[in-house]
Amino acid sequence: MPIPRDRSEAAAMLGVPPDAPDDQITDRYRTLAHIFHPDRNPDAPDAGARMQELNIARDLLLQHRAESAVITLDTEATSGLSRTDNQRIATVMHEMPYGVYFLGTQRQGDPSGMIADWVLQVSFKPRLVLTAMEHDSYSLASIQENRALSIALLAEDCFELASRFLQPRDPAKIRGRSRADQLRDKLAGADYWTTESGCPVLHEALTWLSCQAEQFIPAGDHMLVVSRVLDGGHQRQGEPLTSRNTGWNYSG
């Protein structure tokens, strides 16, 4: 089975209903992990990939729940709109198309990265780009620490590669997991190079920018980061990966 793209594919992969409670998701994940773990299947060449798919399915279900619960509570409490109105507006906002980017950062020489689609140019002179980042993301903390980031536009054929970077570097960000879990090296095994400021750029990306963060502006549940573009380049030809072809909805 391929990497799940959304909650319903993740639920189908784990064999639970899409609205299963957290403990059912976790129990089912543990049962499957017990069966499919590479240590138990040393002769199966795809055991590692299978385990990664299960991890992504579990995290998609748990993380999505945590995020959407917070968003629904916030929007209902602050907008004065009914749940039905909120849901209608969310579906309208899902129609807004976005590019899918790999956002690279580093902390003390240790590179990491995440997937972001809230990325846009906001000035010609100087060239400035805006990224909107979750307050508790590891990537934001890294940018606040050393002001450096890279932004790489992913290609249509990078869907599986992009899936590796959906999960947070710090597993404690996902409900049901603790800080006792190790920080995840999301770039392990990935093919990348680093900019002068040490931020990773995936070789598979179509284009890259090297940026220096200049302003941090709190905006609701995200921090807006305005960055000056220092350098950039093309790496290969191809169609960009967009929210239209991933089916991932980071909007609404």
Ligand X SMILES: Cc1cc2nc3c(=O)[nH]c(=O)nc-3n(C[C@H](O)[C@H](O)[C@H](O)COP(=O)(O)O)c2cc1C
**Residue ranges that bind ligand X, judged by CB under 6 A:** 100, 112, 114-118, 132-134, 137-139, 166-170, 173, 248, 250
Length of the chain: 252
Q: Which is nearer to ligand X, 47 or 90 (CB)?
A: 90
CA-angle at 134, arms to 128 and 139, nearest 5°: 70
* Closest of 166, 165, 148, 168 to residue 225, by C-alpha: 148
Distances (CA, A) of 137 to 58, 123, 142, 169, 233: 19, 25, 9, 8, 27
How far, in Å, CA of 204 to CA of 217, rounded?
31
Q: Which C-beta is closer to ligand X: that of 108 or that of 237?
A: 108
- Could you tell me the smallest distance in angstroms from the CB atom of residue 170 to ligand X? 6
Q: How near is the Cβ of 33 to ligand X at its closest, in Å?
A: 20
Closest to 248 in 3D by CA, of 103, 141, 69, 97: 97
Taking the complex as a whole, the smallest distance from the CB of residue 67 to ligand X amounts, in Å, to 8
Q: Which is nearer to ligand X, 76 or 170 (CB)?
A: 170
For ligand X, the closer of residues 14 and 168 by Cβ is 168
Distance in Å, CB of 140 to ligand X, minimum: 7
